[in-house]
Structure 1
Amino acid sequence: MLRKLKLFSQHRGAWLLLAAGVLVLELTALGFQFFLGQKPCVLCVYQRAALAGLLVAALIGAIAPKTPLRFIAILGWLIAAAKTFALAWDQTQLQLHPPLFATCDFLPRFPQWLPLNHWFPAIFTPTGNCTDKGWEWLSMTMPQWLVGISGVLFVIGLLVLAVQLPCPKKNRP
């Protein structure tokens, strides 16, 4: 099974499947914002940016999945999934245990070399509050779902990384 996972990770279709899944998550968030009137908070915007990083990693993996470029894509996958998980976890904690006075920032703090809120203001400009729950499905809010989804993506990424490593040969008589 591990060999099959390694072979699967060396096919462009696997990386495009990951990219498509992440794109569905991004489009879902935008649908909630533009069609259902949900206002994204700064943590939501950061989660979008982290998912965009995962999308870029998947597209890098799709470029040349049988080359060492695959390792850069896997590393990007793991970093982006871990960052998405951490941000969604933070927002979940704010929603479950709202602070009395403190709140999240109103303006995102992107690096100067990557001002996403200036390049794509409709997508990366926060207008909501981090403690607002808004939408729920099966008693879980959007960040709670993203905790689970990003956690699963991280574990899958670890498995994909693990199968890339060479297996030690067994001594057979």
Structure 2
Amino acid sequence: MLSLLNHYSNGRAAWFLLFLSTFIFELTALFFQHGLGLAPCTLCIYQRCAIFGIMIASIIGLIKPNNYIFRLGGILVWLFSAYKGFTLATFHAHLQFEPNFSDTCAINVQFPSWLPLNQWLPSMFNAYGSCADKIWTFLTIEMSQWMIIIFACYLFVGLTILISQFFPAKKI
């Protein structure tokens, strides 16, 4: 099975599916923000950036998937972004379900001066909601909990793909 996953990671179809999934999540986030009027908080914006990181990883993999360096680079960016997103989502859920006065989230997003996304695209990267608010539930699961599930899935699949790189690709 790992040889088969290695084979699939050498093609563009798998990387395109990764890109498509992140693109759909970004569109969903924008629909929640602009269509439903749900105010994103700082952690929501940072999680959105983590999804963008996975999207960038998929583009790296799409450029030249049969090249080991591009593929490994894409996988590493994918894993780093998924891990960061998972930790952000976990902290977000912690703020919502186990409130503690010592744990807070910033009111404004803070991007590096060389990448001020909130100034370049304020409609996409400006936070004006509270991290502690529970504003959306689906199947009795809050949005922060859904994001934990989503990032955990990205992390699990990314780790599996990384491990599969050590097994020779199957010829189909």
User: What is the TM-score when the length of structure 1 is the normalising length?
Assistant: 0.93
SS of residue in 1 equivalent to 2:107: coil
Matches within 5 A, 1:121-136: 121-136=122-137
| Correspondence for 1:87 | 88
Give the drift of 1:111: 1.2
1:19 aligns with 2:5: no
1:96-135 deviation digits (Å, cap 9, x = unpaired): 0123476421111111121111111101100100000100
Alignment RMSD: 1.3
SS of residue in 2 equivalent to 1:37: coil
Q: Percent identity between the aligned chains?
A: 43
| Correspondence for 1:171 | none
User: What is the TM-score when the length of structure 2 is the normalising length?
Assistant: 0.93
1:140 aligns with 2:141: yes
| Correspondence for 2:61 | 61
1:134-160 deviation digits (Å, cap 9, x = unpaired): 000111111100101111110110110
Letter in 1 for 2:35: F
SS of residue in 2 equivalent to 1:126: coil
| Correspondence for 1:158 | 159
Q: Pick the structure with greater CA Rg.
A: 1
1:37-84 deviation digits (Å, cap 9, x = unpaired): 100000000001111111011111011000021100000000000011
Number of aligned pairs? 167
In structure 2, what is the Cα distance between the partners aligned to 1:147 and 1:102? 19
Matches within 5 A, 1:78-117: 78-100=79-101, 103-117=104-118
Letter in 2 for 1:164: Q
1:14-52 deviation digits (Å, cap 9, x = unpaired): 001001001111111110010111000000000011111
Q: Unpaired segments of 5 or more residues in structure 1?
A: 168-173
In structure 2, what is the Cα distance between the partners aligned to 1:72 and 1:127? 34
| Correspondence for 2:40 | 40
